Structure 1
Amino acid sequence: GVVRADKVEWNTLFEDGNGNSTNAIIKYNHQDNYNYNTLSKAQFEKSGRSLDYAENPIYNSSGKLTSYYKINRNPFENVSATLTQRFQLRDDLSLSIAPYYMWANGGSFSGQTASALSSTSSKAGNYDLKGLPYDTYYRPSWTETWRTGIYNKLKWDMNESHSIDLGYWYERARQRQTQPFISIDANGAPSDIWGDYNSGNQVKDNNGVTVQGRHQYTVTPAQKLSLQDTWIVTPDLTLVGGLAYQYVERDGNNLGDLYNKPEKRDAKYHQFLPNFSARYQINEQNQAFYNITRNMRTPPNYVLYNVGDSISTKPELSWNQELGWRFTKNDMALSATLFHISYRDRQLSTTNSDGDYEMLNVGSVVNKGLELEWSGLLPYNFNYYTSYTYTDSEQKDDISIRNKNLPTAGKQLANVPKNMLNASIGWDNKRYYANIAGKYVGSYYGDLTNDQEIAGRTTVDLSAGVRLPVDKKIFKSAAIRVSMLNVFDKEYLSSARTVVLNTAPVNGLNAATPYYNVGEERTAMVSFEANF
């Protein structure tokens, strides 16, 4: 396939010299690209990454399209605008107001076959399809989102040792999710890859109603009130303590589709979220730090519409702790961090048979491990960077499904490699630069019972560039950059897109098959950029 993208960004800053400033940012992105096939471990071991969607249209005995890469599309368009206004009210008091607006529109079709539709497809009785002949269609999972919000922060410097931050955030998000059926032309390509309401190629029933495989509209008001105190106890010791309260509502309206009758459902989530951090400057080069934060992640909106009791899915709560040390000097930086994250009602992202994202609640999980970083400068304009992460992500609970016990306690959480290592060395004389980087990602599991392990991999990337001399009156900077990813064309499975409970039969539960994202092949890129 082909990837086409257009991006525009605009940023302007005005400062009046008295501490007041206005910063406006607008970004626009439009892209048209294709999906890659997801593979099972068995398919990958047999055929490698060559087992992609069909390069030429494949038709069934009825002459209807069943498989073709041109129906596996993923177009997307979005706009974001933010305006940050800072007011210096007094020497010790400032106010920041930051309204924003975001709009996104796009959808993906990643099915193995085209979607069939006929006169008998309306299972919930929402459509009159009488006389509709059997045919196959492009059916993207389409999502259009509008987010409007504002963040306000009042900062009060009480004295040289204390400052208080009072913040309030409010957002009202609206999301429309549909699955229209769009005709396929004689060449096997969709007549229109955009599945929004402006498309004139969507199938309608006998009453002129657009037929939807999914038709949902969700409104999510969210707000957060926070208070934080920064206390400089001594020139070497700084303490920060805070408390926030977050409240989120989800009002869902299932407007009715092929399989579901119209229904309204709603859910509310709220939590107090404290935080504390300490930073101690041992001497000019050494610093110790400790952080602890309470976080909440609300269930996604589709728990309002999934079958069963998914609406009762609880929000994910966690305590995040870090204890670390940093060493810095002019030509080197070194850091070591121990982390411990305890989750309750851990949410694990996966996809269902339609390719839509959904969440699994895997109970209590504890992530603990170590992060190391080392970077610096070498003689003759050389530089280096390396990092290592060890993560033990242990599931604490067995999962009960259909009144049967699934032995997951003590197992590593799916999609979490225990070991990751990055290392790079580069050269940069401020005009020209070059860099070679290697990355190792250890093995991981595609299921919660750890029956299917995917091997680790090592990849190597190259990059180089030249910073062009420019007329400072017109351009601030300009550069030509060249890069190559996965230089040795390593074939690997990068992550599980569809995480399953178990890949081997256990306690009367049948085995399921996880499907994986295929790692990117050798890719070369050339770019030119200029700032003005």
Structure 2
Amino acid sequence: KETGAVAKQNGGSKTKGKPFARLNTGEINGLSNWLSVSHTEGEMWRGSGAVRADKVEWNSFFDAGNGNTANLILKYHEQDNNSYSQLTKAQFQQNGRKYDPYPATPTVGSNGKYNSYYGLAQNPFQTFTAVLNTQFKLADNLALSVIPYYYWGNGSGVGSSAYALNRGSNQGGVFDLGNLPTAAQYNADGTPNSGVYYRPSRTQTWRPGITTKLTWDLGDHSLQFGYWYERARQSQTQPFIPLKSNGKPVDTWPDSNSAIVDANGNTVQGRDRFTVTPAQKVWAQDTWYINPDWTLIAGLAYMNVEREGTNHGSLNERPEKRNQTYNKLLPNAGLKYQLDERDQLFYSLSRNMRVPQNYVLYDKGAGSIDAEPETSWNHELGWRYSGDDMNLAATLFYMDFKNRQVSSRDINGDFADINAGSVVNKGLELEWSGQLPHHFNYYTSYTYTKAEQQDDLTVYNAGKPIVLPTSGKQFANVPKNMLAANIGYDDGRFYGTFGGKYTSELYGDLTNDEAISGRTVFNLGAGIYLPVDKKVVKDATLRLNVDNLFDKKYLDGVYTTKTNAASYSGFRDGDPAYIVGLDRTVTVSLEANF
């Protein structure tokens, strides 16, 4: 609410610089605003390429009094980065974490054309979001919340390969490629960048929606009625963009005017799909304050999601329309008991639904369009303690999944869902934090998760069913044990923090044939609250952060899950791909409030 500004400058081992600034207008007749901007630029920490991003955010808050408020938030983000490659376990062990399978210089195939190059691994993306959060006090015991929102995203992500396009490429019969030379003519021209193209996987998304909630307080009961509606549209295309003589694309943005067209002037597409997803949810919930110690919550929601898919046709696909609808009743309940002013017991139960990704509409695999939504019953039973200098929490959880979805990629590198059947996650979460003498503080947490698959998984190899032994196995990418601990110090002039996190091994496939080892990563932070002239600068802080202090070399998680990394009845799904853990990173920042 006060007029002022914030300025911050980051620099370190991974970035050339990250300036940030925010201007606060102060409050004028109930209206207050701020505007922030930032720019990030640096080199890739592994492989060739650069990281660039710009962000702008506007926030306005208006208080009309008597509980009537409006909050408008606008955000724009644009990045133009190279893509990081992911590694298999064998690649990591043999070549180390700095290995990058994306070549630093263009490689030439047997046809004399470029076929692989880091300059083709691009990840440009733009996003814009707008949210208007309005709250209206209709009566002393009646409040209305109306929250319209809008999201727009546009960009692409792609690997390092070039894609051939010539007169004989049209397998779907959608395009007339008579205006292009044949493969033999391209191969004979002696130019490595002709006949091969940058083909980004472009996604453009529009998501307008609105959430409305009515809260009605009736003594011991607080009733809430709500309705959410969203109509998302998503266009997924793969245009072909020419390459320069050095192997880089003439334009990295997928809506380039340089994209190749056929003899009829139509943009040639390796994929051209448009999906409309109307979704809605209606719910009612009652919070019953039975007495000062007991609170009961009970509610019921109904969710409906439609997928309306239009395949416009591409080099490999004929035009067609495919639709699917998903519906579920989603109840929830919770009970809270306040033992005393410090101790609280709680139990909660909820049912959730996650619908399959839109690409199940277009996948030609058996039963793809009939993929069931993932549902789960989630139970939590716990205890919380809040003291003057210490907080404790212990929670038991039990999550029963049906049609558990696993996001993976098929042999062509396209996204695909795996239905892992029934999976039960059960375990324990513990947290302990507090203050110590002499300005010290601490935090520690522990999580144990047993994510057990309940069914054997049937896959198909050349039409032949193969049953994989997945029953009783730990679900992929879920560590059984995680432990975090941190010690801090802050005396108002200096501060420091040191801590680490242990993550146990996790599997890259559902048959548990391949796992990456556990690891412990430590981080360090320190800072000085600088003495300032309060007439100009309100406060200033110099900060130092070191992530992965001891430079642990590790794989951080599964990027592409496989059904089986070992062979069963002659079928092997391939090697899981993993995210490479960041090396030691040092960042220094200076920030000031004016």
The interval holding the TM-score normalised by the smaller chain is: over 0.9
Quick one: distance in 1 between partners of 2:351 and 2:85?
38
The residue matched to 1:3 in structure 2 has which SS?
Answer: strand
Counterpart mapping for 1:71-82 below 5 A: 71-82=120-131
Change (3 A) 1:255 1:343: same
Instruction: Identify the match of residue 83 of structure 2 among 22, 26, 35.
Output: 35
Change (3 A) 1:243 1:2: same
The residue matched to 2:290 in structure 1 has which SS?
Answer: strand
Give the C-alpha shift of residue 511 in structure 1. Answer: 5.1
Change (3 A) 1:70 1:478: farther
Quick one: distance in 2 between partners of 1:67 and 1:25?
42
The residue matched to 1:234 in structure 2 has which SS?
Answer: coil
Contact 1:364 / 1:397 at 8 angstroms: preserved in 2?
yes
In structure 2, the partner of 1:147 is 207
Counterpart mapping for 1:151-300 below 5 A: 151-159=211-219, 161-196=220-255, 199-300=256-357
Give the C-alpha shift of residue 13 in structure 1. Answer: 1.2
Contact 1:368 / 1:393 at 8 angstroms: preserved in 2?
yes
Residue range with higher mean Cα deviation, 423-432 or 412-421: 423-432
Instruction: Identify the match of residue 94 of structure 1 among 134, 140, 143.
Output: 143
Render the CA deviation track for 1:11-58: whole Å, top value 9, x for unaligned.
121112211111111111111222222222111111112320222222
Counterpart mapping for 1:108-507 below 5 A: 108-111=157-160, 113-130=161-178, 131-132=180-181, 133=183, 134=186, 135-159=195-219, 161-196=220-255, 199-308=256-365, 309-402=367-460, 403-466=465-528, 479-507=541-569
Render the CA deviation track for 1:207-241: whole Å, top value 9, x for unaligned.
22111111111111100001110011111111111
The residue matched to 1:376 in structure 2 has which SS?
Answer: strand
Give the C-alpha shift of residue 487 in structure 1. Answer: 2.1
Give the C-alpha shift of residue 123 in structure 1. Answer: 1.4
Quick one: distance in 1 between partners of 2:84 and 2:497?
29
Residue range with higher mean Cα deviation, 47-56 or 96-105: 47-56
In structure 2, the partner of 1:25 is 73
The residue matched to 2:122 in structure 1 has which SS?
Answer: coil
TM-score (norm 2): 0.85
Gaps of 5+ in 2: 1-48, 187-194
* 1:3 equivalent in alignment to 2:61: no
Gaps of 5+ in 1: none
Change (3 A) 1:60 1:270: same
Quick one: distance in 2 between partners of 1:226 and 1:477?
46
Residue range with higher mean Cα deviation, 161-170 or 130-139: 130-139
In structure 2, the partner of 1:67 is 116
Query: Match of 1:436, as an amino acid?
Result: F
Give the C-alpha shift of residue 162 in structure 1. Answer: 1.0
Change (3 A) 1:236 1:54: same
Query: Match of 1:108, as an amino acid?
Result: G
Give the C-alpha shift of residue 191 in structure 1. Answer: 1.3
Query: Match of 1:405, as an amino acid?
Result: V
Change (3 A) 1:338 1:380: same
Equivalent residue pairs, number? 528
Give the C-alpha shift of residue 531 in structure 1. Answer: 7.0
Contact 1:285 / 1:329 at 8 angstroms: preserved in 2?
yes
Give the C-alpha shift of residue 85 in structure 1. Answer: 1.2
Residue range with higher mean Cα deviation, 490-499 or 149-158: 490-499
Give the C-alpha shift of residue 479 in structure 1. Answer: 4.8
Residue range with higher mean Cα deviation, 37-46 or 334-343: 37-46
Give the C-alpha shift of residue 522 in structure 1. Answer: 2.1
Change (3 A) 1:108 1:477: farther
Query: Match of 2:489, as an amino acid?
Result: W
Query: Match of 1:421, as an amino acid?
Result: L
Instruction: Identify the match of residue 16 of structure 1 among 51, 55, 64.
Output: 64
Quick one: distance in 2 between partners of 1:374 and 1:295?
29
Give the C-alpha shift of residue 94 in structure 1. Answer: 0.6
The residue matched to 1:311 in structure 2 has which SS?
Answer: helix
Identity %: 54
In structure 1, the partner of 2:29 is none
Change (3 A) 1:469 1:189: farther
Contact 1:386 / 1:424 at 8 angstroms: preserved in 2?
yes
Contact 1:370 / 1:390 at 8 angstroms: preserved in 2?
yes
Aligned-CA RMSD value: 2.0
Give the C-alpha shift of residue 524 in structure 1. Answer: 2.7
In structure 2, the partner of 1:522 is 584
Residue range with higher mean Cα deviation, 411-420 or 127-136: 127-136
